[in-house]
Amino acid sequence: MEQPKTHYRTCNLCEAMCGLEIKYQDKKIISIKGDKKDPLSNGHICPKATALQDLFEDPDRLKIPIKRPEKGWVSISWEQAFDEVTSNLKRIQKKHGVNSIASYRGNPTVHNTGLTLFAGSFLQSIGSNQVYTATSVDQLPHHFASLMMFGHYLLFPIPDIDRTDFMLIIGGNPAVSNGSTMTAPDFSNRLKAIKKREGKVVVVDPRFTETSKISNTHHFIKPGTDALLLLGMLSVIFEEDLTSEGKIKEISKGWETIQELVKSYSPEIVSEYIGIEIEEIKNLARQFAKSKTAVCYGRFGVSTQEFGGICNWLINVLNSVTGNLDSEGGAMFTNPAIDVVGMSRLKGKKGSFHKYQSRVQKLPEFSGEFPVATLADEILTKGEGQVKGMICIAGNPVLSTPNGKQLEKALGSLEYMVAIDIYLNETTKFANIILPTTTGLEAPLYDLVFHQFAIRNTAKYSEALFEKTEEQKHDWEILKELTTRLSGVENPANLEQTLDYMLQFSAYNQPKLSVSELKKHPHGIDFGAMKSQLPERLFTSDKKIELVHPLFLKDLERLASKMKLWKNETTSEYNFSLIGRRHLRSNNSWMHNSRRLVKGRNRCTMLIHPEDAKELQLKEGQNVRVISSVGAIEIPIEITETIMKGVVSIPHGWGHHRKGTKMNIAENHAGVSVNDLTDTNKIDQLTGNADFSGMKVKIEANLN
């Protein structure tokens, strides 16, 4: 037996990129702790990190291809699997056209180096425009605002939280997520540090969240009305001449237009719609604008709503006009070692919008993708261009996209489906063949996406801890093989060679960066805090920030129309607004097969305010029936004052009661899927993102 050894790597289970110190012996893990020498996380980890051991040892995890004949599943060889997948995809496209094959990539794709690097070539070999990802049920409005304002869909302003004096958080719970589109491990202590240096943290959310508990101030807000709060704050800032006359004004277009349009949204006008007092709106605007440094951060709650595009635009505007864009303590831009944004100048790929439309709902593409809310329609609606085949990569859209039951019906009608996944889950059970990849501790990792969103410029390459078995394949090996068979063109590069190519363009070349150089620094390399980069970093043709893109102005008309509806809203039986929530031990549905992450009390519950519970004569723990326009679920309740009156909250990613899966731990903690309630027709009309925050539901006591 060999002596115990230590392995250092980055955790890939969420966006925080926490450094890990893993003690192991032979192929057995002894412990997983935080790496105190990691320059970004400094020893912090959350409970998810220890679940890497559960995932590695999970007996339900697939390691060789399986095929679904008429009855049951059988194991097959890789050669047979590649042959059958290739021949069937070609057959369907020959019969029904190139766009008859759709693809969906789930959230774990961006946490995986191989999938991130090699999925693009694979999809190009298929050639279909029916491309879908988890982006449009998550952060698409962030991308949209960045493309329209800064010229690149990945050019995200990142809060410089370690140097700010005032942080305004709208619709986000970073104490649980450790950021999200803002990679910031140990976020709670970073917030506490703001308060310790006599700064201020304010949270605006329909729920008193875990982040709210460590803030200075929390404001309840009616779901879906965040854009009006931002407009009201901007109205005060311009009215009281609290704007900045610095660099950002000089490199911006549309300053005067913003000043004029916000006059129609004074606190006196918006207060009744959002549920925040007039003076509170004014005080919040003044405190933000007068603070030495300040930053506004909005996340899931402002993205997955009816006006997600406007919200993210206005957050950028608020940071801009107060002089808090591209400045220390404000919202800044990263310059990572592998600069995905910077490298795109070489290829001219900065994002696109409305180059073409979806077949059924006529929704515009965004950077080569359609909103996933229309996927089921594209499968179920007959006619030329109907989707007949499907490729699902590291995703479970039955549980994570709107109206899961409709998507189940759609997937069940396909002629052929292939999944690249480690589990037989609620979505992959519809596949004809599942191709499993290595994962976690068996795979090398360079976090391409989240270094782009990190609060510091760092670089780190994690080698695989354990060698894969002869029967296993890495994700990039699977994608390369399929790409070669479909296109007839072989890509000779492997994962490390591809990373080496990208590192050639790094701004940090002392010493010259390469994978071999990064391997010498298992804790990672710190290149320092974010620095001012504008206007050079902009991708707009004139190097100006587009403060007022015409598409945002047009969408304000939709908001104005909605305000009239809100004002004249009559009492309805659908009188509760539904929002989601996230838990520290949960991120995606596949994490529910970890015994560590699902242990303890049931987390799939509905939060409801005591006054609402009393009115409905409900008791703690009682099961209720939640009904929407498309479906109904039964779920136990938690009565709590942490939720706004008239609002209820249900977490996403559950619903493991469906038959035909093989995730035993998840099945024993099944819960229900909130996406059996959500509606594919409820989207942000500007961006196409799913509208999850504020959907109307009614609550009935379960009398059984």
Identify the CATH number of the domain in which residue 326 sits: 3.40.228.10
Q: How confident is the model at residue 703 (pLDDT cuts 50, 70, 90)?
A: low
Q: Name the band, by pLDDT with cuts 50, 70 and 90, for residue 591.
A: confident
Tokens 């035909």 — which residue?
A: 660
pLDDT on residue 70: 81
Closest of 21, 5, 40 to residue 528, by C-alpha = 40
Strand order in the sheet with 217-219: 217-219, 200-204, 166-170, 295-298
Q: Are residues 535 and 622 in the same domain?
A: no
Residue type, 558: R
Helices 278-290, 267-274: crossing angle, 10 deg rounding? 110
Chain segment 292-321, per-residue pLDDT in tens: 999 999 999 999 999 999 999 999 999 999
Is position 545 within any domain? Answer: yes
Q: Is residue 165 part of a domain?
A: yes
Looking at the structure, tell me whether residues 195 and 268 fall in a common domain. Answer: yes
Does residue 704 surpass a pLDDT of 60?
no
What pLDDT is recorded for position 590? Answer: 76
d(CA 528, CA 512): 17
The CATH number of residue 658's host domain is: 2.40.40.20
What per-residue confidence (pLDDT) applies to 702?
74
Q: Say what the pLDDT of residue 347 is.
A: 73
Model pLDDT, residue 121: 95
Number of folded domains that form the chain: 3
Query: What distance in Å separates the CA atoms of residue 271 and residue 141, rounded to the nearest whole number?
Result: 24
From 13, 28, 57, the end of a domain falls on 57
- Yes or no: say if 105 and 115 are a contact pair by the CB < 8 Å rule: yes
Does any domain span residue 422? no
**CA 57, CA 307: separation in Å to the nearest integer?**
43
597 shares a domain with 695: yes
Beta bridge partners of 454: 183
**CATH code: domain of residue 40:** 3.30.200.210
- Whether 1 has a pLDDT exceeding 80, the answer reads no
Question: Could you give the CA distance from residue 395 to residue 272 in angstroms, rounded to a whole number?
Answer: 40
Instruction: Return the percent helix, strand and coil in the chain, to nearest 5.
Output: 35, 20, 45
Mean pLDDT of the chain: 95
Tokens, residue 210: 């875990």
388 alpha carbon, distance to own chain's centre: 28
User: Residue 578 belongs to what domain range?
Assistant: 570-701
Q: Classify the phi-psi angles of 693: left when phi > 0, otherwise alpha if psi is within -120 to 50, otherwise beta.
A: beta
538 and 616 part of one domain? no
| Percentage of the residues of the chain whose pLDDT score is greater than 70 | 100
Number of residues in the chain: 704
At 487, list the tokens.
């296109």
pLDDT tens string 55-77? 999 999 999 999 998 888 999 99
Please tell me whether the peptide bond between 364 and the residue prior to it is cis, using omega within 30 degrees of 0: no
Residue partners of 674: CB distance under 8 A and separation at least 6: 578, 580, 633, 650, 651, 652, 654, 655
- Whether residues 346 and 255 fall in one domain: yes
Q: Are residues 44 and 192 in the same domain?
A: no
Contact 591, 582 (CB under 8 A): no
**Interval 376-393: pLDDT, tens:** 999 999 999 999 999 999
Question: Do 28 and 51 belong to one domain?
Answer: yes
Distance separating alpha carbons of residues 626 and 702, to the nearest angstrom? 10
